[in-house]
Amino acid sequence: MALVGIGAPWEHQAAAAELAVAGRSVVVATGTASGKSLAYLLPVLSGLVSGEPATALYLAPTKALAADQLRSVRALGLPDVRAATYDGDTPPAERDWVRAHANLVLTNPDMLHRGMLPGHPRWAAYLRRLRYVVVDECHAYRGVFGSHVAQVLRRLARVCDRYGAAPTFLLASATVSEPAASAGRLVGVPVSEIIDDASPRGATEFALWEPPMSDLVGEREMLVRRSATAEAADLLAHLVADGTRTLAFVRSRRGAEAVALAAQRALREAVPELADRVAAYRAGYLPEERRALEVALQRGDLLGLAATSALELGVDVAGLDAVVLAGFPGRVASVWQQAGRAGRAGRSSLAVLVASDDPLDSYLVHHPEALFGRPVEATVLDPDNPYVLGPHLCAAAAELPLTESDLDRFGPATDGVLTKLVDRGLLRRRPAGWFWTRRERACDLADIRSVGGPPIRLVEASTGRLLGTVDNSAAHSTVHEGAVYLHQGESYVVRSLDLAEDVALVEPDDPDYSTSARDLTDIAVVEALKTEQCPEVCLHFGTVDVTRQVVSYLRRRLLTGEILGEVGLDLPARRLRTRAVWWTATAALLERAGLDREDVAGAAHAAEHASIGLLPLFATCDRWDIGGVSMAMHPDTGRTTVFVYDGSPGGAGFAERGYAAGRSWLKATQEAIAGCGCDSGCPSCVQSPKCGNGNSPLNKAGASRLLRAVVEELGPAPA
């Protein structure tokens, strides 16, 4: 199967610049990491408008990317461009200079939210002339984080409006489906799209690789497949032994190191002189170290490099002979981005996706058309989520009192949310509008990287050093006692989690296993917002109350995935009001699916697990962003019901996307189950690593029949 290569982005950039100069917001969607080329657009634009004293703002999802871009811009040596980063690392003295003199400010949404917008009077001169806002890597703004950033950008446009400026948005995205629609939802104004036509650059053979069953026994005595990491290490060693310059993408840094080590070990036996031409690459390296590795690989001094996806953002390695992906990287767009590192003009190259033990991976290796023949996922975000919108309305009111004329800008939910904020005493309604009258900083109400309660602080136990924070809603499952936690590429083990103090004490440690938490969940329907009714099946989207309790965690060996044991945890249950998609089946449908009474619970449970695994194919989530519940008879529906819900308060848009793609999603789920070669269920189809019921009961064959009957009953999509 041939993969079309990626051409030079220049023409698209030029076309985008033309639109932007005419004042039309535009998104450029390209197959490769778009950040690098975009920087060149800014000076181009500044040059175009050099007659006027215009300014531009560049937003990157990470400080590191903004710093990289600053280096690229400065390297151009354009005298009229006064570029500077403005972020948490900028010294106070320099901040004054940036505000007074820079005409290109590179920052991140966090700084815009906490620094620039609340302090907008000090930026008046800059904002008054703000002509362009560049949003780089905009596909990174998805889910709850994306919804927050969408509201921060609405606040920016509103403040600019006050200064008489109406900046044009220029967005750069990886390939996603409907880029203009996603970008428009993000920035809140209509956006035109320019899509890279991916002109060929040498043919890339693309292989989909399903590891064989191993002799390792997993849960419920079921055999499991050989791990993607172990297979990737073998592939890397073989390719390097043939003199092929190969880059292997592995999900975790520890995994990348394990792949590099295993490949070196294999080479030491087969071709000893090549063993030290394989290395690991990780996010923690200094820029010089990264550069040295990139150059070594580019020149061929290094033949094999195992990297984490940190490489995906703005780093310069291309034109390799082969790329190995250990496990589906989570998004179809990422597959193209990573595979796009292979291929040079006039030479053939190879990309291999090795399936990990996950229903989505196993679906993809059996359904190449899902990778090659369909548009990539849509970027999902939901700026109307009241849990996101509320704090930003407070922040906006603190920046400038809100008036009736602002209601449209913040979306249809604004009116209702404002009333609640007034009732809670956070805003005051006066004839002139809504006012923030409290003493604290309104922007502190929104932590744009998380929702739901105060963040949990990660503290190094021996030194008392604060390492960072973890989302409150994720804390029980990620920083419970005994958890292995990766923080900025470094590995820690959690000593204790103090819920009263919101602190997790950790120690640096690098065990050869990973941990995954398991939870028990209950769900109650609050309200169905959308319903599609067939005689024997109903599909719903709506509001639910989820009660979730993390009860234990599993330890798995890194290279093989072997389960080392399960450890019980004593954590309280948590309540969550969120959004869910759910479907119900009548007794008649169960009969049609040939399910006996005692088969139903296992069939629904297996269908739930696999459908959670497949949702990321339709929405930009991973399976840890969502959860599920299934019951042979749910008290709120009176029928067999399977729920899949958004894991953060108020929802993130994933369940809604599942509802919209209901037929295709459930059909793909059925095919994933039916296509797995295992006997009666394995991690590649219906077993879930986070099941609080220990993956019991599960009925693989029953789930396949049930889903087939459900999809048949739903029929073709209404026109």
Residue 698 Cβ vs Zn ion, minimum distance, rounded to whole Å: 8
Residue 500 Cβ vs Zn ion, minimum distance, rounded to whole Å: 30
- Using the rule CB under 5 A, is 678 a contact of Zn ion? yes
Q: Nearer to Zn ion by C-beta: 380 or 655?
A: 655
CA nearest 613: which of 257, 289, 238, 361?
A: 361
Span of 147-155, 321-329, 498-506, 674-682 interacting with Zn ion by CB under 5 A: 674-682
Q: Nearer to Zn ion by C-beta: 351 or 603?
A: 603
On whether the CB atoms of residues 247 and 305 are closer than 8 A, the answer is: yes
| Six-digit token string for 316 | 């310069």
Is 523 exposed, middle or buried (CB count within 10 Å of its CB: 0-12, 13-18, 19+)?
buried
Residue 677 Cβ vs Zn ion, minimum distance, rounded to whole Å: 7
Residue 122 Cβ vs Zn ion, minimum distance, rounded to whole Å: 53
Separation between Cα atoms, residue 550 and residue 554, nearest integer Å: 12
Residue 673 Cβ vs Zn ion, minimum distance, rounded to whole Å: 8
Residue 362 Cβ vs Zn ion, minimum distance, rounded to whole Å: 7
Separation between Cα atoms, residue 260 and residue 152, nearest integer Å: 41
- Please identify which residue in 246, 478, 637, 684 interacts with Zn ion, judged by CB under 5 A: 684
Give the up-direction half-sphere exposure of residue 146: CA atoms within 13 A in the CB hemisphere: 26
C-beta atoms surrounding 231 within 10 Å: 23
Q: Nearer to Zn ion by C-beta: 426 or 676?
A: 676
Residue 477 Cβ vs Zn ion, minimum distance, rounded to whole Å: 14
Residue 551 Cβ vs Zn ion, minimum distance, rounded to whole Å: 12
C-beta atoms surrounding 533 within 10 Å: 9
Q: How many residues bind Zn ion (CB under 5 A)?
A: 7
Q: Nearer to Zn ion by C-beta: 489 or 694?
A: 694
Residue 245 φ then ψ, to 5°: -75, 115
Among all chains, which residue has been given the structure tokens 């087969």? 270
Residue 608 Cβ vs Zn ion, minimum distance, rounded to whole Å: 7
Residue 712 Cβ vs Zn ion, minimum distance, rounded to whole Å: 23
Q: Nearer to Zn ion by C-beta: 523 or 678?
A: 678
Is 511 exposed, middle or buried (CB count within 10 Å of its CB: 0-12, 13-18, 19+)?
middle
Q: Nearer to Zn ion by C-beta: 394 or 676?
A: 676
Q: Is the peptide bond before 121 cis (omega within 30 degrees of 0)?
A: no
Residue 357 Cβ vs Zn ion, minimum distance, rounded to whole Å: 9
Q: Nearer to Zn ion by C-beta: 172 or 610?
A: 610
Span of 191-199, 367-375, 656-664, 675-683 interacting with Zn ion by CB under 5 A: 675-683
Span of 409-417, 443-451, 463-471, 689-697 interacting with Zn ion by CB under 5 A: 689-697
Which residue type sits at 81? V
Q: Nearer to Zn ion by C-beta: 50 or 696?
A: 696
On whether the CB atoms of residues 644 and 615 are closer than 8 A, the answer is: yes
| Six-digit token string for 116 | 């620039």
- Please identify which residue in 45, 250, 685, 710 interacts with Zn ion, judged by CB under 5 A: 685
Q: Nearer to Zn ion by C-beta: 298 or 680?
A: 680
**What stretch of H or E contains 372?**
helix 369-372
| Six-digit token string for 158 | 């509103």
- Please identify which residue in 297, 418, 626, 676 interacts with Zn ion, judged by CB under 5 A: 676
Span of 277-285, 293-301, 401-409, 682-690 interacting with Zn ion by CB under 5 A: 682-690
Span of 76-84, 210-218, 583-591, 668-676 interacting with Zn ion by CB under 5 A: 668-676
C-beta atoms surrounding 496 within 10 Å: 13
Is 432 exposed, middle or buried (CB count within 10 Å of its CB: 0-12, 13-18, 19+)?
exposed
Q: Nearer to Zn ion by C-beta: 400 or 580?
A: 580
Residue 248 Cβ vs Zn ion, minimum distance, rounded to whole Å: 25
For residue 37, what are the contacts with CB-CB under 8 A and spacing of at least 6?
Answer: 9, 10, 13, 30
Separation between Cα atoms, residue 691 and residue 698, nearest integer Å: 11
Q: Nearer to Zn ion by C-beta: 644 or 714?
A: 644
C-beta atoms surrounding 277 within 10 Å: 20
On whether the CB atoms of residues 296 and 320 are closer than 8 A, the answer is: no
Residue 476 Cβ vs Zn ion, minimum distance, rounded to whole Å: 17
Q: What is the DSSP letter of 615?
A: G
- Using the rule CB under 5 A, is 682 a contact of Zn ion? yes
CA dihedral 566, 634, 627, 573 (to 10 degrees): -60
Which x/- pattern, by CB under 5 A, does the window 28-67 give for Zn ion?
----------------------------------------
Give the up-direction half-sphere exposure of residue 54: CA atoms within 13 A in the CB hemisphere: 21
Q: Nearer to Zn ion by C-beta: 435 or 624?
A: 624
Span of 101-109, 299-307, 368-376, 673-681 interacting with Zn ion by CB under 5 A: 673-681
CA nearest 620: which of 331, 237, 221?
A: 331
Q: Nearer to Zn ion by C-beta: 368 or 697?
A: 697
Span of 260-268, 300-308, 579-587, 679-687 interacting with Zn ion by CB under 5 A: 679-687
Residue 211 Cβ vs Zn ion, minimum distance, rounded to whole Å: 12
Separation between Cα atoms, residue 368 and residue 355, nearest integer Å: 12
- Please identify which residue in 311, 483, 691, 710 interacts with Zn ion, judged by CB under 5 A: 691
Separation between Cα atoms, residue 719 and residue 712, nearest integer Å: 17
Q: Nearer to Zn ion by C-beta: 264 or 684?
A: 684
- Using the rule CB under 5 A, is 642 a contact of Zn ion? no
Separation between Cα atoms, residue 257 and residue 512, nearest integer Å: 11
Which residues are near Zn ion by CB under 5 A? 676, 678, 682, 684-685, 691, 693
